[in-house]
Chain A
Amino acid sequence: MSALRLAGAVAAAKAVAGATRVLRLGGGTVLPGRVARWLFPRVLEELTGALDPVVVVSGTNGKTTTARLVARALEVAGLRTVSNRAGANLQAGLVASVALASDLRGRPRAQAAVFEVDEATLPAVLPVLRPRVLVLTNLFRDQLDRYAEVERVAERWRGALASLEPTAVVCYNADDPQVADVARLAPARLPFGIEDASAGRDALEEAADVRFCYRCGVAYRYSVVFLSHAGHYACPACGWSRPAPSVRAESVRLVGTSGSEVLLRWDGEGFVVRSGLPGLYNVYNLVAAAAACRALGLPADVWRRAAESVRPAFGRGERLTWDGVELRILLVKNPAGFNEVLRLVVRERPRSLLLAINDRTADGRDVSWLWDVEFERLQGLEAHVTVSGLRAEDMALRLKYAGWPEERTTVERDLARGLRRARDRTPAGGVLFCLPTYTAMLELRRVLSRWGVVAPFWED
């Protein structure tokens, strides 16, 4: 009976996916999963039961790129791997990704799986997916209208770790005090982090959210900060401090928005990797993926080959050529990520920027977070800024109060028109830096695919 229902659910998912493509309704990464779950609620469990290993990646930032790196490593190691690449990371998205990669009897045409999972969805799917490796990247302030509080997400994670198999390994970011604290409850742990203090700063940003010890409520002391509240910390009251990471970036050299060079320490051995993934946040993704590879028993060289061959996911530092300018698209989702992207972009002395801010559910309906982003960094640039998206006016106002001149700001709510106007402000052959929120990025993708600049999303 359940085999029949499974087959029905898979067939329905495939039919819906086919229809959405024919009708050009978009990526078709979620709806097929919704239909399959409606027909057969246990579909995810049935489809993934035979997959081994299953790796789950969760956290506020870095899910997509880390999952992509781990999936690539498994492919390099010779395992056919299914993953939910397009960032469809709620339950329906997971179901759709496996259903579409299965035959009509519900047998996946893959051995391994790597899933990125929304941080609030994690507790519901862990008992179903029973991963061999769980990667926890970080917990930053994000979409407070959906998650209520960072603290609440951490609390749910604590409960979720109890559902892991005793053999599962949790790879966690030792530099994030809240994540490290949650991971104390894991059956087996593998901490990762950045050692190279010269890659960090010595002060906390405005956006840093957790700076108080979970146990005693006393402010952590940091000797170095890398990203928001991720760094080297210790509690002066109870003495708890950053766990020493087993997989770590010993030295880091960032090459603008082009990539990075990282010396990774793994079981006493050192490996240098040159990747095309820009920014310190991607160094975390590289190290997180390395930790997952180690937990899976893959050799370091497999990780290196994966890291050097992975291209940025759409909107994660991707470069495109369009109409005489180069587009560099850098997704911005929350203050921690936006601050890091601004830091990268400002170093390149940009002449033209497009900031596209939406407030749909997947972006977070509350745009207050724009005031936690340090747009004051833009001061002194010889650039023109085009603001677009459903909350273009909010963005424009934020720029005004950051001291950015009104005469060098263009407000165009419509994204397609905004993109054209931003191009008109970009010197020929120059770079237009596009910083969209999540749904603005999807919209940008649709616009660019309509114009024939990129392939539609679902081919990614």
Chain B
Amino acid sequence: MDLVLVHLFPDLLNLYGDRGNLVALRERARRRGIHVVVKEVRLEDDLPDDGDLYLLGGGEDRQQALVARALQQHAGTLRAAVAGGAVVLAVCGGYQLLGHGYRAADGHQLPGLGLLDVTTQHPGHRARRLVGNVVASCTLPGVGSLVGFENHGGRTRLGPGVQPLARVRVGFGNNGEDGTEGAWCGTVFGTYLHGPVLPKNPRLADHLLTLALRRRHGDVRLQPLDDRWEEAAHTAAAARAGLRLRR
């Protein structure tokens, strides 16, 4: 079995250890004997259309603006890939660009891809950033709690076309008001959690891997791994956020 991972703009969107998500997916696939091909896409490159899973990280405002323009050129390819069952995981700045658009602190408007029915606005530099540890309950079956760290100025609102990825127990989530964190629809996932999100949330990592493998390999069921260290880090992170979890 093989899996094609496409890492978009690793040189621009790599703000919060985002590489860790790629490492987690790659290693968890390899431990199950799956052959993994990683394709990195930079600004001047074409977007591969054969990806099983596309990863987008977060970046600073300037980098995000550069990426927003480039993404518009890849919009057709990415939409076709998603229509064909490919998985997308986008974190923080990348998540904002998966939505309809992002209005920056200075009022400047960045176009989004419209792959998720969400809209993001930055309320201005005087508004407080949403920063801190997060613990949330994932809405995906079998995933349970999610832990991570968020750090964003933008406030994201969900439309009727998506479900929240999780309900916040500790932290701010999408906007600090409605208790939602992240969004998903079909095989497209967005989240504000870094940490990075996948190593410490192995069940979410495996959920994405399973979806990505099913695109070409039928009804795949992943064999369980020894996740004691992953679970220990998960529980410890929740405890640092002030929550004692029973897993």
Contact = CB atoms under 8 A, between A and B. Distances in A.
Interface string B1-45: 000000000010011111110011001000000000000000100
Contacts, number: 93
B236 A401 contact: no
Contacts of B190: none
Given A150-B60, A212-B66, A366-B194, A371 B19 contact: yes
A154 B16 CA distance: 19
B24 A401 contact: yes
A396 B149 contact: no
Contacts of B133: 365
B46 interface: no
Interface in B142-172: 149, 151, 153
A391 B195 CA distance: 12
B16 A368 contact: yes
A394 B149 CA distance: 13
Contacts of A396: 229, 232-233
B236 A391 contact: yes
A372 interface: yes
Contacts of B27: 401
A393 to B, nearest CB: 4
A368 B149 contact: yes
Interface residues of A, number: 34
B216 interface: no
Interface in A161-186: none
Contacts of B20: 368, 371, 398, 401
A151 B60 contact: yes
Nearest to B11: A211
Nearest to A413: B236
Given A148-B129, A366-B151, A206 B240 contact: no
13 contacts: A145-B149, A148-B151, A149-B60, A150-B60, A151-B60, A365-B132, A365-B133, A366-B16, A372-B14, A393-B229, A393-B233, A396-B233, A401-B24
Interface of B: 11, 14-20, 23-24, 27, 43, 60-63, 66, 129, 131-133, 149, 151, 153, 194-196, 199-200, 229-230, 232-233, 235-237, 240
Query: 7 closest A-B pairs (Cβ-Cβ)?
Result: A371-B17, A371-B20, A368-B17, A393-B236, A393-B233, A368-B16, A397-B233
